Amino acid sequence: MLQSGAEWASVATRTAGVAGFLPPRHLGPNPPGAGSRSLAFRGHFEHSLDAKNRLSIPAKFRAAFSQGVVLAKDPEACIAVWTPEQHERILEQALAGLNPMGSRYRKVARFFQANSFDAELDAAGRVTLPQPLLAHAGIERRVVVLGVGDHLEVWARDRWQRAAEELDAEIAEVIEGLGDPS
């Protein structure tokens, strides 16, 4: 059954034209010889930061961060929470094809590297969120942690409510355009 599911997942993504838009682990079971894939980050979790600005990572995701955490300024008004491996991978993808001496390369590298912080989970599964990232995201205490496939996003609850309303209003049009070459 897994083999047939993998085949149909492959057919569905090829014919729908969405394979390039989804993180690899969302495209079905592992192909033979591909090795294991890590847990996909999914879900919506409401939390509050403690007095030391520590965020409790949802228990089901803690093992994924056993090798460390990269906290990064997201282009949107939130904090991205990456595994170190995924953060490096996404940065490599963002810089691929850009001239390393060009201004676009330097701007992208600066944005992602200068606004990223290496961290570790403590014994209770918490990570301290740095002040510059809290200011960027407008976070004071109440947050929403979103699983978005290959990483987590941490939003101020009020900002997430507004962003979610906008997303709900736009998603049908966004989905309609998937796979459209224009």
CATH of the domain at 170: 3.40.1550.20
pLDDT digits (tens, 9 = 90+) for 9-36: 333 333 334 334 333 333 333 333 334 4
Residues of the chain falling short of pLDDT 70: 1-39, 182
147 occurs within a structural domain: yes
On whether residue 30 sits in a domain, the answer given is no
Pairing of strands 79-82, 69-73: antiparallel
Instruction: With respect to residue 92, please indicate whether it lies within any of the assigned structural domains.
Output: yes
Q: Which residues contact 147 (CB under 8 A, 6 or more apart)?
A: 40, 41, 42, 43, 44, 61
Beta strands in 18-104 (DSSP E): 41-48, 54-56, 69-73, 79-82
Question: Domain for residue 9, yes or no?
Answer: no
Question: Which residues span the domain enclosing 165?
Answer: 39-176
18 is a domain residue: no
Record the pTM: 0.75
CA angle 21, 22, 28 (to 5 degrees): 140
In a domain, 69, yes or no: yes
Domain total in the chain: 1
Compute the Cα dihedral for 76, 79, 85, 88 and give only its sign. Answer: positive
What pLDDT score does 38 carry?
57
**Which region holds residue 161: left if phi is over 0, alpha if psi is between -120 and 50, else beta?**
alpha
